[in-house]
Structure formats: structure tokens, C-alpha cells
Structure 1
Amino acid sequence: MASTNIPAAAGAISAAAETIRWQVGDTEHTAQWHSEGGWPAPQRVLVVDDTLTADAAYRMAKAGIGMLWQGDFQNARQLLSALARRVDRHRRTPTSNMKAAFEAGRTEALRRARLLGLVLVPLDADHTLNIRRAPDARQACAEAYGPGTDPVVLSLRELLGVIGAHEWRVKGVPVAALGASIHPHYGVFSPVRGEYLDLVASAPLPATGMAFDIGTGSGVIAAMLAQRGFDHVVATDMEPRALACARENLQRLGYADQVEVIEADLFPAGRADLVVCNPPWLPASAATSTDAAVYDPDSRMLRGFLAGLAGHLTEHGEGWLIISNLGELLGLRSRGELLDLIDDAGLAVIARLDIRPTHRKAADTTDPLHAARAAEVTSLWRLGRS
């Protein structure tokens, strides 16, 4: 897979952010640049408005020119959609080899993100978007970035994602297996695919004393374990956004006293009757800092979970590994490699529960990865000490 030189994202708007510059007449203007994906600021920026055509925008994007929008907000959204159609029109021909198709698809996705990310908008220090017919994005930006301190410039595409995340946070994502909704925060993986949660809801429990939820994210699995009757659940994560999200969801669901959310790299101290982990399913490098929920470089989280699991189980405890075989179908990892990791960790497979995904991509025959997605199986591996 092609490597990239994209730096880590700032994570929040700060005084250390990169500076972006543009000219209006003879006057140079500057502002802080912000990109959650860690994209560098464009070296050249031109002020544009409603007179900019999509064809001209496409030419500017290919030249790496940032387009700082000063027109109508709704027109900016329409321009972004038209620009996306032109970018997609020039996609490379997909290959029938699944691994090659996956790598080509990631390269195309990065190219697409880079080009579409060059339509820019300014935010005032209080996150106000001073553009005609713009929505009030202050609350959404405060949730994603924290309190504003200085004016910034960011991509319109990122801002639309921030606004969309705020809407999902307010609305919530219904989780049938939980019988309630989870309210994901910006940058936290949303439980939109529910099949793996059906496995968590139905798998037989070894006991109901202590449980660990490793990499809790939104807190949905911790909530399900509490709902299934565990006396105490410890949910861990390394990301501040995930920790805040999990705590808020567990408080809303009434499990705050039953579930302890702590910052930890994988395991907390002690042993548990059940240890659950749903790591990122694809063992590939994270090309941008926002890829971490999907890609597990060199299977770091998977390897760490399996290697440390035996030392955190009670005598008859179980570890539940929730993972899809999509990585195997794409040629990124073999089933033999997974079984070797389990064996090397001093673990034995007690049972494996499988379920087919029901998401839209599994039925999309235009997807270059359709053959792999159509054959995908999500599994809950019940593991014990060998």
C-alpha cells in the first residue's frame, strides 16, 4: 500500500496550529489552519465566491490551490457536490484482485479527500461561520473542537462532518440489541452496524461478576454487559473523546454506577470473568489520524489483546474477540495467522458464533470490493486459557 506523509491531527484547535495565508487586494490575511485528518494547509489560497464554476474548482483543486469561500453557504455545498462528481468521474479502473482493489480504493479515497478538502471556510474565534445563509455551527464545533480561541480556516467537507456528527449526537443511533439509543460523539466510532452487538447479546455468559470492555468507544458493549447482569464492568479506552462519550452514554442509560470508565491502553488491573474486545477489523496502516477506528496497523490492538488476555481472566473466565473476516477476504491477514496468535497467547477456542452483515455495502454490486463484502462474516470468538 502506498505510504503517506500526512501528520497526526491536532485533535483540537490550538495556538500551535499551522498558519494559512491569503491575499485580498494588497492585504495579506492569516488564520490558524485546522484539519482533524492531519492534512497540511494548502500553500496557495485564493478567495472565491458564487461565481466559481465546478470545472474551475476542479482545475484549482488538481493544482493544490485552496479555495476560501466567501459566497453563499448553500451554494458552497452545491459546489462541493459538483466537484465530487468530477473527482469521481476520473476514478481509476478497479481491479478484480481483492487486495489490489482494496489498496487502489484507499489510494483513491485519499486522493478524493485531498481534492474535496480544498474548498475552505473561515470560523471566527467563537466558532461563528460568517457566510451568507450559513447554519449556526457553534455548538457542533464546540463539541468537536472544544472552546474556540482564535479564528481558523478548515475544509468545508470537515465542517459538514462536524455538523452531521452533532446531529447524530442529538438524535442518537438506535441499537436493537440494547433496546435503546447510543449517542456517538464526533470522532468516536458509531455502532451503525448492529450484527456484532446481536452476538454480544446472545452469547452464553461464563459468569456475571466482573467484566472488562477493552476499547469501549461509545460505551455500547459496556452498556450491554451491564444490561446482561454483570455486577461490575470496567470499560477502557485511550482516546479522550471516547472516554467522554462512553461516560455520557452510560450515565444516560442508567449504568454509571455499574460501569467504571477509565483511561488505559487495553487492560485495566486485575482479572475478570469476561473480557470483551472489538478491535478495528482491517490490519492496515492508518493513512490519516481519523482512520484509527477502522484500521489496526500491524494488528497492534488485536495482538495486544490476545497476548495479554490469559493474564486477565479468572480461572474459568472467557475472552470474547469480535472481528470480521473481511481482512482475510481482502488478503490482508490469513485465518492461520489469527489462529497462531490465539495459540501463541496460551488460549484455546471454546466456540465461535457467526453472523452475516446486513449493511448496504454488502449488497452494492458496484463496489469494487463487493465480492469480499458479500462473503463477509462477523464472528465472536469465545476464548479461554489453554
Structure 2
Amino acid sequence: MPLTAPHPYIHWSEGGAPRTARWRSESGTAAPARVLPADDTLSADAAYRLACEGTALLWRGDYHNARQLLQALERRIARGPRKGGDARPALASPSEAFHRHRQAQAQRARVLGMLLLPLDGDYGVPLRRAPDARAACAEAWGPATGEPAAVALRELLGLVGAHEWRRKGVEIPALGGARIHPHYGVFSPVRGEYVDLVAQAPLPGTELAFDIGAGTGVLSAVLARRGVRRIVATDMDPRALACARDNLDRLGLSAQVELLAADLFPPGRAALVVCNPPWLPARAATPIEHAVYDEGSRMLRGFLAGLADHLAAGGEGWLILSDLAEHLGLRTRAELQEWVEAAGLRVLARADARPRHPKSRDAADPLHEARAREVTSLWRLAAR
């Protein structure tokens, strides 16, 4: 039986000789089957045609010209077909518009992902005027292996952007202006309204709290600063646990917070159990999207179903949830209330806040109208 390669590779011919490089893709995209070397002489129209046909372009020219080409590809995708018009049927519902939009975004990502950059064995980009992306790559992938690789330019730009977020941090008013430093692949707390809701809700007790889905550790930090003596924070993602540990260490709160790799609840019962699950019940197309999309509302329903068994007497569960899914027709308020009642829970109160995030400027984006009506809520739940 042939051995399976531990990592995917891309293959191409250059200078009359076969070449190979390790394929890097945090988005989970398969290694392209067809790869051609390309440089500054390639026109944007030719690049667009090749990318649409599924041919990846391994860039050998100037780095900034590669970025300009990527922008040119984006303009051609936005322009759409030049002939024939739009023959798509009228949309029947917001959910249909949402799913169609996600399909278009996936196609856009596929085409843009065909522009590749080479990487040296130390994650250096061997192109003219290329930035030093070694730290960004190491944060996402771990130490360099000495093996040449290739990555989509679009993905490398995401790694560099994440590195800057991690370096600068996100200011959290609820922590007195202290900063949370999100790691690559961990949801950044740029939407501060859900953090403020946790900072303002009346505490049912201060002895022990559970933070389900720790992420960056921001909610654990807020609870610790509010005087909760001990917090057990869980997450299944090793990156999230490492990120939370880093932030708690920076804030001097590690002694109050225990981090545990677990699916939802830790053992025992607590006076307070907090959960901020992914808000949209749709299938994640890439591993990174799991912070936003939760197929079948698995985490939300699991939290509700197990909450009563993990609450101390008189304890509360705090569910932080946007109603964006309701505006998109992906989940109804009645369904959510049915899940609450079926879990043997009752709603004590609900606090709402308007989100403070940039609205989409694309009128064709179904999130554009939904976000204009979106409200983030903290549901205070108790066992019946």
C-alpha cells in the first residue's frame, strides 16, 4: 500500500525542470492541480481567465505588482459576466439570498486564491519589495521547517493582518482600556457590545463561573475583574486556549482562571455559566469560519440542553446571542424559545445592545439589511 504524504504539495515545471513545494492553506483549500509560473508580464485579463479555469499562478515578479493584480482580479469578479445579463431567478427569502451570497463569496475566494506566492524554508517571501512575513507565518503555522512552500497571496495578507491585530491588541473599555491580543484563527473581540453586556449584568454569585468557549479569554477576564474568585474556561481549539492563556497572563489574571480543553461544560456546577456561541446556524466552509458559523446550532443547543445540570442552586446561565440569524431567516425566535423551554430553563431577563461594527456597504450583500436591524442580547437563564 503506498504511503500517504504527510502534507499536500503543488507541482509545476519551470526552467525545463519539475518543481515541488509544500502547499499551505489555513482555509483548508485543496492544493491546485495545475500551476504555472507567472510574472509582471502577465495581463490581468489573462490571469483572470486562467484563475477562472482553475489554473494557479505562482508569482515570480514584484510583490507589489502581485497585490495590484489581486485587486484587478477583484474588480473583474465584481464586474461579473459582460454578456447575457443576470439570469438568476428572483430570491424567495432572506435565507435563500444569504446562501446564494455565500456561494458567490466561495467562488470569489476560489478565483482569488489562484494567485500564489513562494515561501522560502524560513517563511521568507523571495520576491522584490516583499515584506517580512516570517513572524506572521510562524504565529499561524508554528516554527519554520526549512521546506520551501507556496501560499495564496490572499491568505498571506490575512496572516499579516492577523499578526498586526495580535501585536497591537484590541482595546476593551470593560477592562479599563486594557488590550486583548487575538491570535490567528481566534475570533477577535472587535464587537464590544457583547463584552459590555457581560460587564453590566448583575452577578448571581462570585465564587465560581464557567466560561464556555473561551476564545481570546476576554469574557473570563471581565468576570475576573468584576470579582469572580474562580473561573473555569473551556474551549476545544488549542489556538484559542493558547490565546486565552497569553491574554490572561498579560492581564495578571491567570491565578483566577483555569483553562480546560473540553467540548462545552467542565465537570461540576457553578453560580454562573456564560456562553457566546457562533451566531449563524450555517455550515462553515473553512476551519476558520467555525467562530462564526455553527451548523444546526450545535453549540447553542448543546449549551441550552446541558445548562440546568451545571448550574448551582440559584445560579444563572448567560447566553450572548445576536438576532442576525432571525433577520436572515436561518432561525426563528420561536425556535430559540422552544429550545429554552425543552431544556427545562426559564428566562429571567434579557438585555439588548446595538452592535458597534462596520455595516456592509454592498447593497447586494444580504447581511447589509439584516445588520441594520441587528441586536445583540444577553439572555439570563435559570433552571425551572
TM-score (norm 1): 0.93
**Structure-1 separation of matches of 2:296 and 2:105:** 21
The CA deviation at 1:197 is 1.0
**Structure-2 separation of matches of 1:327 and 1:362:** 16
**Structure-2 separation of matches of 1:188 and 1:263:** 15
**Structure-2 separation of matches of 1:369 and 1:83:** 23
The CA deviation at 1:371 is 2.2
Matched with 1:240 is 238
Cα distance change of structure 1 residues 170 and 104 upon mapping to structure 2, 3 Å threshold: same
**Structure-1 separation of matches of 2:360 and 2:373:** 8
The CA deviation at 1:366 is 5.9
**Is the Cα contact below 8 Å between 1:357 and 1:376 reproduced in 2?**
yes
User: Unaligned 5+ residue runs, structure 1?
Assistant: 1-13
**Structure-1 separation of matches of 2:5 and 2:130:** 26
**Structure-2 separation of matches of 1:81 and 1:16:** 34
The CA deviation at 1:369 is 2.9
**Is the Cα contact below 8 Å between 2:212 and 2:233 reproduced in 1?**
yes
Q: Is residue 121 from structure 1 mapped to residue 111 from structure 2 by the alignment?
A: no
**Structure-2 separation of matches of 1:97 and 1:266:** 33
**Structure-2 separation of matches of 1:204 and 1:100:** 39
**Structure-2 separation of matches of 1:333 and 1:366:** 21
The CA deviation at 1:283 is 0.5
**Structure-2 separation of matches of 1:16 and 1:88:** 37
The CA deviation at 1:192 is 0.7
The CA deviation at 1:51 is 1.1
Matches within 5 A, 1:296-375: 296-361=294-359, 367-375=365-373
**Structure-2 separation of matches of 1:54 and 1:256:** 51
Matches within 5 A, 1:81-96: 81-90=71-80, 95=91
**Is the Cα contact below 8 Å between 1:46 and 1:65 reproduced in 2?**
yes
Matches within 5 A, 1:1-386: 16-90=6-80, 95=91, 97-149=93-145, 150-179=147-176, 180-361=178-359, 367-386=365-384
Cα distance change of structure 1 residues 362 and 106 upon mapping to structure 2, 3 Å threshold: closer
User: Unaligned 5+ residue runs, structure 2?
Assistant: none
The CA deviation at 1:255 is 0.4
**Structure-1 separation of matches of 2:46 and 2:170:** 39
Cα distance change of structure 1 residues 365 and 21 upon mapping to structure 2, 3 Å threshold: closer
Give 2:159's aligned amino acid.
Answer: V
**Is the Cα contact below 8 Å between 1:45 and 1:68 reproduced in 2?**
yes
Q: Deviations over 1:364-386 (max 9, x none)?
A: 65643322111111110000001
Q: Deviations over 1:38-77 (max 9, x none)?
A: 1111111000011112111111111100000011111111
**Is the Cα contact below 8 Å between 2:360 and 2:367 reproduced in 1?**
no
Cα distance change of structure 1 residues 155 and 213 upon mapping to structure 2, 3 Å threshold: same
**Structure-2 separation of matches of 1:362 and 1:84:** 17
**Structure-2 separation of matches of 1:348 and 1:126:** 55
Cα distance change of structure 1 residues 368 and 336 upon mapping to structure 2, 3 Å threshold: closer
Matched with 1:6 is none
TM-score (norm 2): 0.94
Give 1:75's aligned amino acid.
Answer: N
3-state SS, counterpart of residue 177 of structure 1: helix
Q: Deviations over 1:72-115 (max 9, x none)?
A: 11111111111111111118678483112111110011011100
**Is the Cα contact below 8 Å between 2:340 and 2:346 reproduced in 1?**
yes
3-state SS, counterpart of residue 6 of structure 2: coil
Give 1:23's aligned amino acid.
Answer: S
Give 1:344's aligned amino acid.
Answer: A
How many residues in Structure 1 have an aligned counterpart in Structure 2? 373
**Is the Cα contact below 8 Å between 2:101 and 2:365 reproduced in 1?**
no
The CA deviation at 1:36 is 0.8
Two-structure CA RMSD over aligned residues (Å): 1.6
3-state SS, counterpart of residue 174 of structure 2: coil
**Is the Cα contact below 8 Å between 2:93 and 2:329 reproduced in 1?**
no
Identity across the alignment (%): 62
Matched with 1:5 is none
The CA deviation at 1:134 is 0.9
3-state SS, counterpart of residue 213 of structure 1: strand
Give 1:31's aligned amino acid.
Answer: A
Give 2:359's aligned amino acid.
Answer: K
**Is the Cα contact below 8 Å between 2:319 and 2:381 reproduced in 1?**
yes
Cα distance change of structure 1 residues 364 and 157 upon mapping to structure 2, 3 Å threshold: closer
**Is the Cα contact below 8 Å between 2:277 and 2:320 reproduced in 1?**
yes
Q: Deviations over 1:121-142 (max 9, x none)?
A: 1112211111111111111111
3-state SS, counterpart of residue 164 of structure 1: helix
The CA deviation at 1:337 is 0.9
